[in-house]
Structure 1
């Protein structure tokens, strides 16, 4: 199953992206809230079978947003099927 982001809400200080399948079925979301020095990232995916695809989709997106302000602290909680997963928030 392929998954994609589908923008739901977009402002400079906040974003909500739905995670949908190739048949446009919603299976999760990703939300960003930003202030001057911190970015909060919350995400949920229902389907455990696409965990690696979700991480591959989320990681570069978070890293790209973090580049907007290099000194920004990124705080995140991402879960798949109710289990927390770790995503790389800084590019080495």
Structure 2
């Protein structure tokens, strides 16, 4: 199943992004809160069938945040179907 971000609310201090399927049905959300030196990211989906797509959608977004805000610490929590999932968004250093 293809899923996409659909911005719901974007402010300098936070973002709320809906996660929708190809029929524009909401299947989850992700929110980012920006502090002076920290970024808190929480993502959740109730649809168990989107776990892999959810990971594939969220990972590059978080990697982009780490590149755009290298001085910030990123704290994250993601769950799909009520189960915590680990997303390794740290790039391997060469």
Structure 1 length as normaliser, TM-score? 0.94
CA-based RMSD: 1.0
Aligned to 2:46: 46
CA contact under 8 A between 1:74 and 1:89: conserved in structure 2? no
Aligned to 2:87: 87
Q: What is the SS of the residue equivalent to 2:87?
A: coil
Q: What is the SS of the residue equivalent to 2:69?
A: coil
- 1:46 is displaced (CA, Å) by 1.1
Q: What is the CA deviation profile of residues 30-85 of structure 1, one whole-angstrom value per residue up to 9, with x for unaligned ones?
A: 00001121110011011111111100100000110121221211111100000000
- 1:89 is displaced (CA, Å) by 2.7
Q: What is the CA deviation profile of residues 5-26 of structure 1, one whole-angstrom value per residue up to 9, with x for unaligned ones?
A: 1000112221000000100100
CA distance in 2 between partners of 1:6 and 1:37 (Å): 26
Structure 2 length as normaliser, TM-score? 0.92
Paired residues, number: 92
CA distance in 1 between partners of 2:76 and 2:69 (Å): 16
Runs ≥4 residues deviating over 4 A: none
Runs of 5+ unmatched residues, structure 2: none
Runs of 5+ unmatched residues, structure 1: none
Aligned to 2:75: 75
